[in-house]
Amino acid sequence: MAYKKVLQYETFIVLGIIIAVLAFLNVLGVTNIDSDLFWALAGVGLIIEGFLERAKWRARKKRQLERDRKVMRK
């Protein structure tokens, strides 16, 4: 389970680094990347975050249901 959390954070860190480096290179004039690419990368980050939060929510809901079932059995 711990490796999943690390991978989740690594994904955001990598996307953030890519966006920051590309934006900085654009400012310096090294590249001429359209801003749509930056928005696309940000969108990918939001999609990943949404899926991860949904998975966390489902896991919490499942644990809560299991606790409720244990209480009802007693």
For 28-71, write each residue's pLDDT tens digit: 999 898 989 888 988 888 888 888 888 888 888 888 888 888 77
Q: Supply the Cα-derived Rg of the chain in whole angstroms.
A: 19
Mean pLDDT of 6-33: 85
Query: pLDDT grade, residue 3 (50/70/90)?
Result: low
Cβ neighbours of residue 52 under 8 Å, at least 6 residues apart?
Answer: 8
- The predicted pLDDT at position 25 comes to 92
| Cβ contacts of 26 within 8 Å, gap of 6 or more | 32, 33
User: pTM for this structure?
Assistant: 0.62
